């Protein structure tokens, strides 16, 4: 029985080329309103952080004792002033820089190191796997906050140390996801088929393995950004992160908390900023996961 596909003569005119994978992802994202809004919010936050020196109406560290704890809407200070009389809008804009750096950098570092470790452990297996994964389990055994506090406490306060300690918190999580994805993909028959046709380890890892595990790891990492923002804010809150007088949302929350009975709205503003930003990251990663899914 011969198998033939009847092909219309003007085939190329009838069907365009099928959409490439990334175009499909873009097409899906363009139809997902929640993800678009979350992305828009993040873009605004990022832009305002980058452009803070030009957007901010005042010097972030210059206060005026006479204008302490001005309420929202006070003349000249749209979002009021903090306990030292510094303009809140200015400090929120500048604080966004620190918060975004503290949220993104550790996750990025953990994504690179964690993926490498997880893929190596998963692909090689055996003793290597046991060594890597059990070491990660030791870190994983501590609650994230406790581990971050312990490492920051040992290293001392300051932004670089915060970034190091948060990276260490996130590496084991990424390794776990990367390892389990690698082990799962490694067992699939198309890896065997690639080996059977003579592909070397490099080709297999690059074209067959990474192409299929990077997506899930990236989505997982993006969910961790919001946690990193909150942890960084928490470290600053405890005095282990960014040091005063620098503006950082968590630190601002800490210094303003004593004023909450004087003026309840102004101290809530940095908290609101943290909430909105981390929420937007979570929604964005949810949307990315849905859009990047390969539907069978």
Partner 1 sequence: MRATPLLRARDLRKHFPLRGGVLQRTYAWVRAVDGVSFDVYPGETLGVVGESGCGKSTLARLILRLIEPDAGTLHFGDEDVAAASPGRMKRLRRDMQLVFQDPYASLNPRLTIEDAVGFSLLVHGTPRAQARDRARALLSRVGLEPRLYGRRYPHELSGGQRQRVNIARALVLDPKLLVLDEPVSALDKSVQAQVLNLLTDLKVERSLTYVFISHDLNVIEYVSDRVLVMYLGEVVETGTADELAQSPKHPYTQALFASAPSLDPDHRMERPPISGDPPNPIDPPSGCRFRTRCAFAMPRCAETPPASRAVGATHAVACYLYESGAVVDARVTTSPIV
- CB distance 110 to 96 below 8 Å: no
Which residue in 131, 211, 272, 279 binds partner 1 (CB under 8 A)? 211
Asked if 21 is part of the footprint of partner 1 (rule: CB under 8 A), the reply reads yes
Asked if 184 is part of the footprint of partner 1 (rule: CB under 8 A), the reply reads no
Other CB atoms within 10 Å distance of the CB of residue 8:
9
11 vs 154 by CB, closer to partner 1: 11
Question: Site map for partner 1, 79-98, x if CB under 8 A?
Answer: --------------------
- What is the Cα–Cα distance from 68 to 174, expressed in whole angstroms? 44
- Torsional class of 118: left (φ above 0), alpha (ψ -120 to 50), beta (otherwise): alpha
Which residue in 10, 12, 13, 33 binds partner 1 (CB under 8 A)? 12
Other CB atoms within 10 Å distance of the CB of residue 136:
21
19 vs 43 by CB, closer to partner 1: 19
Question: Site map for partner 1, 110-149, x if CB under 8 A?
Answer: --------------------x-------------------
Alpha helices by DSSP H, listed for the chain, are 11-14, 21-30, 33-50, 52-55, 88-124, 126-140, 144-155, 159-186, 189-196, 201-203, 211-237, 249-256, 265-292
Q: Rg of the chain's alpha carbons, rounded to an integer? A: 24
Asked if 9 is part of the footprint of partner 1 (rule: CB under 8 A), the reply reads no
Q: Which range in 114-122, 189-197, 222-230, 260-268 contacts partner 1 by CB under 8 A? A: 189-197
65 vs 189 by CB, closer to partner 1: 189
Token duo for residue 142: 């501590």
Q: How far is the CB of 17 from partner 1 (least distance, A)?
A: 6
Asked if 189 is part of the footprint of partner 1 (rule: CB under 8 A), the reply reads yes
Instruction: Print burial letters for 31-66: b (CB count within 10 Å at least 16), e (below 16).
Output: ebeebeebbebbeebeebbeebeeebebebeebeee
22 vs 261 by CB, closer to partner 1: 22
Q: How far is the CB of 29 from partner 1 (least distance, A)?
A: 18
27 vs 190 by CB, closer to partner 1: 190
Beta-carbon contacts of 182 under 8 Å, excluding residues fewer than 6 positions away, are: 118, 119, 121, 122, 123, 209, 213
Which residue in 3, 138, 141, 154 binds partner 1 (CB under 8 A)? 3
φ and ψ at residue 282, rounded to 5 degrees:
-65, -45
Asked if 5 is part of the footprint of partner 1 (rule: CB under 8 A), the reply reads yes
18 vs 75 by CB, closer to partner 1: 18
33 vs 189 by CB, closer to partner 1: 189
Q: How far is the CB of 79 from partner 1 (least distance, A)?
A: 47
How large is the greatest C-alpha to C-alpha distance in the chain, in angstroms?
93
Other CB atoms within 10 Å distance of the CB of residue 15:
9
- CB distance 107 to 170 below 8 Å: yes
Which residue in 9, 13, 18, 33 binds partner 1 (CB under 8 A)? 18
**Residue ranges that bind partner 1, judged by CB under 8 A:** 1, 3-5, 7, 11-12, 15, 17-18, 20-21, 130, 188-190, 192-200, 203, 207-208, 211-212, 294-296
């Amino acid at each position: 029985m011969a198998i033939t596909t009847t092909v219309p003569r003007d085939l190329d005119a009838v069907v365009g080329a099928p959409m490439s994978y990334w175009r499909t992802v873009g097409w899906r994202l363009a139809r997902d309103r929640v993800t678009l809004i979350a992305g828009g919010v993040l873009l605004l936050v990022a832009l305002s952080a980058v452009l803070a020196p030009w957007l901010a109406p005042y010097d972030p560290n210059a206060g005026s004792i006479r204008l302490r704890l001005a309420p929202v809407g006070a003349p000249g200070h749209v979002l009021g002033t903090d306990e030292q009389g510094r303009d809140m809008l200015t400090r929120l804009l500048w604080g966004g820089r620190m918060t975004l750096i503290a949220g993104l950098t550790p996750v990025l570092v953990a994504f690179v190191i964690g993926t490498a470790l997880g893929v190596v452990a998963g692909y090689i297996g055996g003793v290597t796997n046991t060594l890597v994964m059990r070491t990660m389990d030791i870190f994983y055994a501590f609650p994230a906050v406790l581990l971050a506090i312990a490492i920051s406490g040992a290293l001392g306060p300051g932004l670089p140390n915060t970034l190091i300690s948060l990276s260490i918190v996130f590496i084991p999580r990424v390794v776990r996801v990367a390892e389990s994805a690698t082990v799962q993909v490694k067992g699939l028959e198309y890896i065997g088929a690639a080996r059977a046709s003579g592909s070397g380890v490099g080709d297999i890892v690059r074209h067959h393995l990474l192409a299929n595990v990077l997506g899930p790891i990236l989505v997982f990492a993006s969910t961790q950004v919001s946690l990193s923002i909150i942890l960084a804010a928490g470290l600053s809150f405890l005095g282990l992160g960014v040091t005063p007088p620098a503006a950082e949302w968590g630190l601002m929350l800490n210094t303003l908390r004593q004023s909450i009975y004087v003026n309840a709205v102004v101290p809530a503003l940095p908290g609101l900023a943290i909430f909105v930003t981390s929420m937007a990251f979570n929604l964005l990663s949810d949307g990315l996961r849905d859009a990047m899914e390969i539907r069978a």
